[in-house]
C-alpha cells in the first residue's frame, strides 16, 4: 500500500488562511512583486492579518522589502519571518544571492513543501507573488485551494502585455479561478504642468469580461523604496492608488 | 526540527488508510528517510510510536531506515553522494542555518531538500544540471494490515 501524507501537512498549515490572493502577470517586468508587497502592506494597515508568500521560485525578491530576514523552526515546521505586522516567506531568505535552479518534478516538490512546512497560522489574506506567465505554481495553487483562491492580474497598457494577459485571463477562467480584477501598472504620470501622460498607450477598461480595478501611476520614487529602505507610502501617488485596489480586494 | 509534525501526518494517513480498508490493525509500517533532508530517524520513530497509542497503528512493527541520497550529473555523468560533501556544505552554508526552539541549527535543505540545487554543483564539471537519485526526504514505503 502506497500512502501520500504531505497533503495532510499542507491542509493543516493552511487551514486557518481565509483567502489566498494570487498576483499574476502575463509577462515579467510589469511590477508584480512590488504590487504584491504594496497590497500586503495596505491590507495590513487596514488592520487585517496578512501574509506574503513569494512563489517566484527562480527569482524571489520579496525578502528585499523587509529588514528582518531570519527564519525560525518550530514543532510544526518553519515560522515565517514576522516583520512590520506582516508574515513573509520567500526562498530568498534561504539562498543568499545564489541561483535557485530547481526544475521539472523538483519544482512541484518544493512548492508542496513551501505550503506544507510554513506555519502561517491564522490569516485573513495570504498574498502570493507568482512567477510570470502560465506556470506550475499557478496550477499547483488552483489544484490545492479551489475554494479560497482568487487572482488579480497585473498588466501594463502596452498592446504586447495586454495580448499575453488576455491568454492568462482565459486560462484562469478555464481553471475556474475567481478573478478579482485587472491591475494596469505603469499607466500614466502627471507632469509638472498637471498634464496626464500615458507613455505606454491608452490601456483598457476591461479584458475578457474582467474589470480593470486600478490604474497605477509611474512613480519614480518606487525604486528608492528598496534602494534607500524607504517606507512604501514615500511613493505617494502609487501608494494612494494601491490603497484603493486593496480595499476592492478586501471586499471581494 | 519538524520531525514530530511529519510523524503526525504519517500516523494520521496510515490510520485513515487502515480505516478505509476496514482493517483490524496495522501489522507493519516501513518508512524511508533520505539522508539529504537530515531528518533524525530516532526522533521520528519515537514520535510515530507515541502518536500511534490507542490507534490501529499501536503495536505495529515499525521500521525506519535511512537511504543515502545520491546525485548524477546530466552533463558529464558523474555520480556522487550527499554524505561525501555534507560537512563541506554545512561549513559553506553555516550562516544560512535555521535555529529552532530546541536550540538545533538546521540547513535549509532540512525543510526544502530541493534547495540542494542552490547549495552544490557537480564536483567534476561544476554544472547545476544534475538529478537526485533515490529518496530525498521521507516516504512511506510499505504498510501491511490485518483485516
Ligand atoms: Zn558534471
Cβ contact, residue pair A74, B14, below 8 Å? no
Q: Residue A237: pLDDT above 70?
A: yes
Q: Residue A2: pLDDT above 80?
A: no
Mean pLDDT value of segment A55-69: 92
Fold of B2-68+135-146: hypothetical protein PF0899 fold (3.30.2320)
C-beta atoms surrounding B92 within 10 Å: 12
Each residue's pLDDT tens digit, A140-167: 999 999 899 999 999 999 999 999 999 9
**Cα–Cα separations (whole angstroms), residue B79 to A108, A147, B86, B127:** 24, 44, 15, 12
Cα Dmax for chain A: 73
In this prediction, what percent of chain A has a pLDDT beyond 90? Answer: 81
Cβ contact, residue pair A3, B108, below 8 Å? no
Q: What is the pLDDT, as a whole number, of residue B103?
A: 84
Report yes or no: B29 and B60 within 8 Å, Cβ to Cβ.
yes
Q: Residue A192: pLDDT above 90?
A: no
Mean pLDDT value of segment A106-122: 94
Cα Dmax for chain B: 54
d(CA B64, CA B85): 24
The ipTM is 0.91
Mean pLDDT value of segment A108-122: 94
Q: What is the mean pLDDT of chain A?
A: 93
B6 interfacial to chain A (CB closer than 8 Å): yes
Q: Residue A36: pLDDT above 80?
A: yes
> Which residues in chain B land under pLDDT 50?
none
**Cα–Cα separations (whole angstroms), residue A224 to A167, A229, A234, B81:** 33, 7, 9, 45
The candidate with the shortest Cα–Cα distance to A215, out of A170, A164, A154, is A154
Neighbours of ion ligand 1 (CB under 5 A): B 73, 75-76, 78, 122, 124-125, 127
Each residue's pLDDT tens digit, A22-34: 999 998 989 999 9
Ligand 1 center–CA B120 separation, angstroms? 12
Cβ contact, residue pair B99, A74, below 8 Å? no
Q: What is the pLDDT, as a whole number, of residue A75?
A: 83
Cell numbers describing residue B130: 544534475
Q: Residue A226: pLDDT above 90?
A: no
Q: Specify the pTM.
A: 0.95
Nearest to B140 among A5, A95, A106 (CB): A5
d(CA B142, CA B36): 21
Domain boundary assignment for chain B:
2-68+135-146, 70-133
Cβ contact, residue pair B118, A98, below 8 Å? yes
Cell numbers describing residue A144: 490545492
Each residue's pLDDT tens digit, B118-129: 999 999 999 999
Q: What is the pLDDT, as a whole number, of residue A131?
A: 95
Each residue's pLDDT tens digit, A168-185: 999 999 999 999 999 999
Q: What is the pLDDT, as a whole number, of residue B1?
A: 60
A3 interfacial to chain B (CB closer than 8 Å): yes
Domains and CATH numbers, chain A: 16-251 (3.40.50.300)
Ligand 1 center–CA B136 separation, angstroms? 20
Range ranked top by mean pLDDT from A4-8, A77-81, A224-228, A229-233: A77-81
Q: Give all strands (DSSP E) within chain B, no chain letters.
A: 25-34, 61-67, 70-73, 79-81, 98-100, 105-106, 130-133, 138-146
Amino acid at each position: 500500500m502506497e500512502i501520500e501524507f504531505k497533503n495532510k501537512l499542507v491542509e493543516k498549515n493552511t487551514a486557518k488562511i481565509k483567502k489566498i490572493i494570487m498576483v499574476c502577470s502575463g509577462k515579467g517586468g510589469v511590477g508584480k512583486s512590488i504590487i504584491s508587497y504594496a497590497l500586503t502592506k495596505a491590507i495590513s494597515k487596514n488592520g487585517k492579518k496578512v501574509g506574503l508568500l513569494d512563489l517566484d521560485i527562480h527569482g524571489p525578491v520579496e525578502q528585499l522589502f523587509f529588514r528582518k530576514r531570519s527564519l525560525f523552526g518550530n514543532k510544526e515546521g518553519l515560522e515565517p519571518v514576522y516583520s512590520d505586522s506582516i508574515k513573509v516567506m520567500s526562498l530568498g531568505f534561504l539562498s543568499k544571492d545564489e541561483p535557485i535552479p530547481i526544475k521539472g518534478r523538483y519544482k512541484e516538490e518544493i512548492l508542496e513543501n513551501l505550503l506544507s512546512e510554513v506555519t502561517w497560522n491564522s490569516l485573513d489574506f495570504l498574498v502570493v507573488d507568482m512567477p510570470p506567465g502560465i506556470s506550475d505554481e499557478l496550477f499547483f495553487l488552483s489544484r490545492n485551494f479551489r475554494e479560497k483562491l482568487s487572482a488579480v492580474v497585473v498588466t501594463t497598457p502596452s498592446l504586447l502585455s495586454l495580448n499575453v494577459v488576455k491568454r492568462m485571463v482565459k486560462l484562469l477562467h478555464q481553471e475556474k479561478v475567481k478573478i478579482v480584477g485587472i491591475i494596469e501598472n505603469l499607466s500614466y504620470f502627471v507632469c509638472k504642468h498637471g498634464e496626464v501622460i500615458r507613455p505606454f498607450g491608452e490601456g483598457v477598461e476591461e479584458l475578457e469580461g474582467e474589470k480593470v480595478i486600478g490604474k497605477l501611476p509611474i512613480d519614480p520614487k518606487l525604486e528608492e523604496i528598496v534602494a534607500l529602505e524607504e517606507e512604501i507610502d514615500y511613493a505617494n501617488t502609487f501608494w494612494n492608488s494601491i490603497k484603493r485596489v486593496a480595499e476592492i480586494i478586501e471586499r471581494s | 526540527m519538524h520531525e514530530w509534525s511529519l510523524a503526525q501526518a504519517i500516523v494520521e494517513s496510515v490510520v485513515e488508510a487502515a480505516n478505509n480498508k476496514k482493517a483490524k490493525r496495522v501489522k507493519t509500517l516501513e518508512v524511508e528517510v533520505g539522508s539529504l533532508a537530515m531528518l533524525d530517524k530516532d526522533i521520528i520513530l519515537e514520535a510515530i510510536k507515541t502518536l500511534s497509542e490507542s490507534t490501529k497503528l499501536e503495536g505495529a512493527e515499525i521500521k525506519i531506515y535511512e537511504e543515502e541520497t545520491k546525485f548524477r550529473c546530466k552533463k558529464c555523468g558523474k555520480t556522487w553522494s550527499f554524505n561525501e560533501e555534507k560537512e563541506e556544505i554545512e561549513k559553506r552554508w553555516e550562516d544560512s542555518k535555521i535555529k529552532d526552539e530546541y536550540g538545533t541549527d538546521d540547513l535549509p535543505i532540512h525543510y526544502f531538500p530541493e534547495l540542494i540545487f542552490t547549495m552544490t554543483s557537480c564536483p567534476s564539471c561544476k554544472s547545476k544540471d544534475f538529478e537526485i537519485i533515490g529518496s530525498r526526504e521521507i516516504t512511506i514505503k510499505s504498510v501491511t494490515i490485518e483485516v
